Amino acid sequence: QVQLQESGPGLVKPSETLSLTCTVSGGSISIYYWSWIRQPPGKGLEWIGYIYHSGSTNYNPSLKSRVTISLDKSKKQFSLKLSSVTAADTAVYYCARAGSYNLFDYWGQGTLVTVSS
């Protein structure tokens, strides 16, 4: 059974960089698209971007200038960096696996990141 687990600081200061890591267990990190999705408190889901096992990336156009997603196959981890954060970036951040036709079939439990001084 594939499992994903997010880790990283729960509090980030405004203007700094948010950094999260997702560890994959129980399955291969090859073939699939490894994604980040966020959900502000009380609001809907927003796709941030994904990285393919080859290393190619695709980002939400609205966040593209601030987002970097990277992959470490040896550790079976992928990471998110979101720069110049503001309070609007406060959200639960999920990592997820996307397979055929961008179906998100496995999700992490989510981690709340609060942007505040």
Partner 1 sequence: NFMLTQPHSVSESPGKTVTISCTRSSGSIASNYVQWYQQRPGSAPTTVIYEDNQRPSGVPDRFSGSIDSSSNSASLTISGLKTEDEADYYCQSYDSSNVVFGGGTKLTVL
| Residue 25 contacts partner 1 per CB under 8 A | no
Which of 19, 24, 28, 36 has the alpha carbon at shortest distance from 104?
36
Among 73, 87, 105, 114, binds partner 1 (CB under 8 A): 105
Which of 4, 18, 11 has the alpha carbon at shortest distance from 83?
18
Sequential DSSP letters for 98-116: E-GGG-EEEE---EEEEE-
| Residue 41 contacts partner 1 per CB under 8 A | no
CB of 102 to partner 1, least distance (A): 4
Among 15, 17, 102, 114, binds partner 1 (CB under 8 A): 102
Residues 6+ apart with CB under 8 A from 55: 71
Q: Which residues bind partner 1 (CB under 8 A)?
A: 35, 37, 44-47, 50, 58, 60-61, 94, 96, 98, 101-105, 107-110
